[in-house]
A and B are shown apart, each in its own frame.
Chain A
Amino acid sequence: MESPAEDSELCELRLYVAGQTPKSVTALANLKKLCEEHLAGKYRIEVIDLLEHPQLARGDQILAIPTLVRRLPSPIRKIIGDLSNTERVLVGLDLRSRR
């Protein structure tokens, strides 16, 4: 990893889902696995169900579900989809440098 300083920071993640749609379920499972492997002990996941609270889509400007938002460390990053492509998620979260 490029900057060791960032390692100590807590990674605050927010996953937007729509009830139990297959992709929502897949995304959460993928996210948990990925966090345990790459961010063990340094992350927090908040799951927001937009079927129950659709108005919460506004804050992070969510258009498609599932969407993962990294709230911290800044800048805010957004990754759309079921997070099945681990490589893309890691790049998106700045856990692996973009080539």
Chain B
Amino acid sequence: MTLTGRTQEQLVAEVAELRERLHDAEETLRAIREGEADALVITEQQGEKVYTLKSARAEENLRLLADAGVMPTESLDLAATLQSAARLAVSGFADWCVIDLSSEEGPIERVATAHADPDLQPLVEELKRFPPRGDEPRGPALVLRTGQARRIPQLSPECLQTAGEDPEHQRVFAALAPTSALQVPLAARGRILGVWSFYSSSGRLYDEGDQDLAEELGRRAALAIDNARLYGAAQAANLAKDQFLATLSHELRTPLTPVLAVISSLEGDDRLEAKVRESLAMVRRNVELEARLIDDLLDLTRISRGKLELSRRQTDLREIVEQAIETCCGQDVASGRLRIVKDLVAADQTVWADAPRLSQVFWNLLNNAVKFIPQEGTITIRSWREPSEIAIQLTDTGVGISPGALGHIFNAFEQGDLGTTRRFGGLGLGLAISKAIVELHGGRLSAESEGTGRGATFTVRLPIGGRRREAAEAVETERRGAPKAESGRPLHILLAEDHADTAEALAALLEGLGHRITVAGSVAEALAAAAASAGTADVDLVISDLGLPDGTGFDLMRELAHRYRLPGIALSGYGMEEDVEKSRQAGFARHLTKPVTLDLLKEVIGQVREEDLNALPALPRSPRIR
């Protein structure tokens, strides 16, 4: 398979389309962040669904009201709130009471009842079987329709007779023997949410003053109901937002795979002029940058769901910092724009850390420092030991942080202020992610600045030692780790991928490494190909996409692992934890998230093969995977 089907123009067009999609994504996030959008479209299994986002304002109102202590409860649980309100009312004001709520569509619900006499509570509970009907000419239904409170100072025996049409209802009502009644609307923000009915059975006759009090109680209860409903909506909106980000990341990530693959392969093509290859390197750097932005989005959803996981081992802290400086500042130092002053002697030791994640932290901090130094400046990196921690401190001479902004720069999507966002670009996710990563390591990340124009200082503190508990894990990680950079015997690889461009590009890359490739576009094709070569034990390795037209990569892997004991590598666009876990269970030795680079693929194939050679033939293949 070759790449001749693709011209440079097509490649440029693909990258342009990609840029457009990323632009859309950034625009979307900007609009949400600045409160310019208030609804989201989420694609669910049943189709598109629209979620309206009243959350920002709603949550604000919510906090305000909660602080003001408006309702006699701290609970946002609607049923509990109303039940406690009902109990409150029967501690003197009424002998018994009933609360009815109207729902968006559907019938009126009788949600709470209370009686001052515990012995009569079961009787009043029976009223829940007879909620008012919307069209009734009297009682709670009338109040719901008109929004006007009703006071019936003295209930006549005839009145009791007409309570509802159901004889059973009349019997219960008569047994409760009300003598006077008040029915007030529960109204909030111009909407009538329900009715609260108070009854006296002890001869007390409700007067106008009583009505005022009942109406005030009604207003407070209505606010509590409104809060609980808004809170529910806000929760739903938050969930929707997470899912939205995950979908967005996947959408953006999938088309990057063929683009990156083709570029890597063209870059290595000696027949192309050096100048062309330079341009390709530029294209690749930009695509990789976009991939990183998408990774940030994914990381953020993981963090917000508490699912970011570390894979730790003994790590040379100084090396991580030095490499980050080289990566992020090398160019600017060479051009003379940036000066680096460093003292990393104290950092010369190992920490128990996830090296790629920790590198991400220092990249973020250094990139920020570089970004926020307007023309020329200095970054000073110091390190020192504290009793149980090691500290790395980065100080820049950049634009600084205003005191007002300092408090929330670690919040996702927030940079110093909106002006900063426009001036410096970016999604504002880096610091939030960095802080989460450092804290997962048991460390701390803090920021200081003397104000706008006076530079900023970020300090990372990481614990020293503390690996005892995880020692066993470390041994295994190290045994498993250390990729072998070997080219080895050419393999026959079965590639299951239904996205034609991705399949073509990956096959070309793998062939470039000297392997032989069989492409299958579905589970059935892949199984057929494996069966065809089974007699000769020909296929060495499976690389499979997770979403195939006639099944999942998991199904395929389970079959192949079971029948032929083939090792496998999973590819997916999502990189969600569930997928990673599921692919382990299905028998995949590794799970890679698109886009996949040549180097990574090479490394992982090397690792999988190494493990395969080390594994005892009698062992089933799947339990090796952690």
**CB proximity of B508 to chain A, nearest CB, Å:** 29
Most chain B beta-carbon contacts within 10 A, residue among A23, A79, A80:
A80
Determine if A58 is an interface residue (Cβ-Cβ < 8 Å): yes
Interface residues of B in 173-194 (CB under 8 A from A): none
Q: Which residues of B contact A84 (CB under 8 A)?
A: 36
Q: Provide the bound-state CA to CA distance between A62 and B34, in Å.
A: 18
Given contacts A57-B48, A78-B27, contact A63 B41 (CB under 8 A): yes
Interface residues of A in 8-63 (CB under 8 A from B): 18-19, 21-24, 50-51, 54-55, 57-58, 61-63
Partner of A80, one of B36, B48, B52, B244: B36
Partner of B48, one of A19, A22, A54, A78: A54
Partner of B37, one of A19, A51, A55, A66: A66
User: Is B36 a contact partner of A55 (Cβ separation < 8 A)?
Assistant: no
**CB proximity of A79 to chain B, nearest CB, Å:** 7
Determine if B50 is an interface residue (Cβ-Cβ < 8 Å): yes
Given contacts A50-B50, A54-B50, A55-B48, contact A65 B39 (CB under 8 A): yes
User: Is A63 a contact partner of B47 (Cβ separation < 8 A)?
Assistant: no
Q: Which residues of B contact A21 (CB under 8 A)?
A: 38-39, 52
Determine if B18 is an interface residue (Cβ-Cβ < 8 Å): no
Q: Which residues of A contact B52 (CB under 8 A)?
A: 18-19, 21
Q: Provide the bound-state CA to CA distance between A61 and B42, in Å.
A: 11
Q: Provide the bound-state CA to CA distance between A62 and B32, in Å.
A: 14
Q: Provide the bound-state CA to CA distance between A21 and B38, in Å.
A: 7
Q: Provide the bound-state CA to CA distance between A79 and B49, in Å.
A: 21
How many residues of chain B get a CB closer than 8 Å to chain A's CBs?
A: 22
Q: Which residues of B contact A66 (CB under 8 A)?
A: 37, 39
User: Is B31 a contact partner of A80 (Cβ separation < 8 A)?
Assistant: yes
Q: Which residues of A contact B38 (CB under 8 A)?
A: 18, 21-24, 65
Interface string of A69-85 (1 = CB under 8 A from B): 00000000011111010
Partner of A64, one of B28, B43, B48, B49: B28
**CB proximity of A69 to chain B, nearest CB, Å:** 11
Select from chain B the residue with minimum beta-carbon distance to A21: B38
Q: Which residues of A contact B50 (CB under 8 A)?
A: 18, 50-51, 54, 57, 65
Select from chain A the residue with minimum beta-carbon distance to B57: A22
Determine if B24 is an interface residue (Cβ-Cβ < 8 Å): yes
User: Is B31 a contact partner of A18 (Cβ separation < 8 A)?
Assistant: no
Select from chain A the residue with minimum beta-carbon distance to B42: A63
User: Is B41 a contact partner of A80 (Cβ separation < 8 A)?
Assistant: no
Select from chain A the residue with minimum beta-carbon distance to B41: A57
**CB proximity of A32 to chain B, nearest CB, Å:** 17
Q: Provide the bound-state CA to CA distance between A80 and B39, in Å.
A: 11
**CB proximity of B345 to chain A, nearest CB, Å:** 48
Given contacts A64-B31, A80-B28, contact A55 B41 (CB under 8 A): no
Q: Provide the bound-state CA to CA distance between A82 and B461, in Å.
A: 43
Q: Which residues of B contact A22 (CB under 8 A)?
A: 38
Select from chain A the residue with minimum beta-carbon distance to B27: A80
Most chain B beta-carbon contacts within 10 A, residue among A51, A57, A66:
A57
Q: Which residues of B contact A18 (CB under 8 A)?
A: 38-39, 50, 52
**CB proximity of A16 to chain B, nearest CB, Å:** 8
Q: Provide the bound-state CA to CA distance between A80 and B50, in Å.
A: 15
**CB proximity of B328 to chain A, nearest CB, Å:** 29
User: Is B47 a contact partner of A55 (Cβ separation < 8 A)?
Assistant: yes
Select from chain A the residue with minimum beta-carbon distance to B44: A54
Q: Provide the bound-state CA to CA distance between A41 and B32, in Å.
A: 32
Interface string of B374-406 (1 = CB under 8 A from A): 000000000000000000000000000000000
Determine if B40 is an interface residue (Cβ-Cβ < 8 Å): yes
Interface residues of B in 32-75 (CB under 8 A from A): 32, 34, 36-41, 43, 47-50, 52
Determine if B320 is an interface residue (Cβ-Cβ < 8 Å): no
Q: Which residues of B contact A24 (CB under 8 A)?
A: 38-39
Q: Provide the bound-state CA to CA distance between A86 and B37, in Å.
A: 16
Given contacts A79-B27, A80-B28, contact A63 B48 (CB under 8 A): no
Q: Provide the bound-state CA to CA distance between A84 and B31, in Å.
A: 11
Q: Which residues of B contact A63 (CB under 8 A)?
A: 24-25, 28, 40-41, 244, 248
Q: Which residues of A contact B244 (CB under 8 A)?
A: 63
Most chain B beta-carbon contacts within 10 A, residue among A50, A58, A63, A66:
A63
**CB proximity of B189 to chain A, nearest CB, Å:** 13
**CB proximity of B583 to chain A, nearest CB, Å:** 28
User: Is B39 a contact partner of A81 (Cβ separation < 8 A)?
Assistant: no
Select from chain B the residue with minimum beta-carbon distance to A84: B36
Given contacts A18-B52, A81-B31, contact A65 B41 (CB under 8 A): yes
Given contacts A79-B27, A80-B27, contact A64 B47 (CB under 8 A): no
Q: Which residues of B contact A54 (CB under 8 A)?
A: 41, 47-50
Q: Provide the bound-state CA to CA distance between A55 and B34, in Å.
A: 26
Interface string of B101-126 (1 = CB under 8 A from A): 00000000000000000000000000
Q: Provide the bound-state CA to CA distance between A22 and B30, in Å.
A: 18
**CB proximity of B45 to chain A, nearest CB, Å:** 13
Q: Which residues of A contact B40 (CB under 8 A)?
A: 63-65
**CB proximity of A48 to chain B, nearest CB, Å:** 11
Select from chain B the residue with minimum beta-carbon distance to A66: B37
Select from chain A the residue with minimum beta-carbon distance to B38: A23
Interface residues of B in 514-529 (CB under 8 A from A): none
Q: Provide the bound-state CA to CA distance between A50 and B48, in Å.
A: 9
User: Is A81 a contact partner of B47 (Cβ separation < 8 A)?
Assistant: no
Q: Provide the bound-state CA to CA distance between A65 and B39, in Å.
A: 5
Select from chain A the residue with minimum beta-carbon distance to B53: A21
23 A/B residue pairs, CB under 8 Å, sorted by A:
A18-B50, A19-B52, A21-B39, A23-B38, A23-B39, A54-B41, A54-B49, A54-B50, A58-B43, A62-B41, A63-B40, A63-B244, A64-B31, A64-B40, A65-B50, A80-B24, A80-B28, A80-B31, A80-B37, A81-B27, A81-B30, A81-B31, A81-B34
With A57-B50, A63-B40, A81-B31 given, name 7 new contacts (CB 8 A): A23-B37, A54-B49, A54-B50, A57-B41, A64-B32, A64-B41, A66-B39
9 cross-chain pairs, A with B, having the tightest CB-CB distances, nearest first: A81-B36, A65-B39, A18-B39, A81-B31, A54-B48, A64-B37, A23-B38, A80-B31, A57-B41
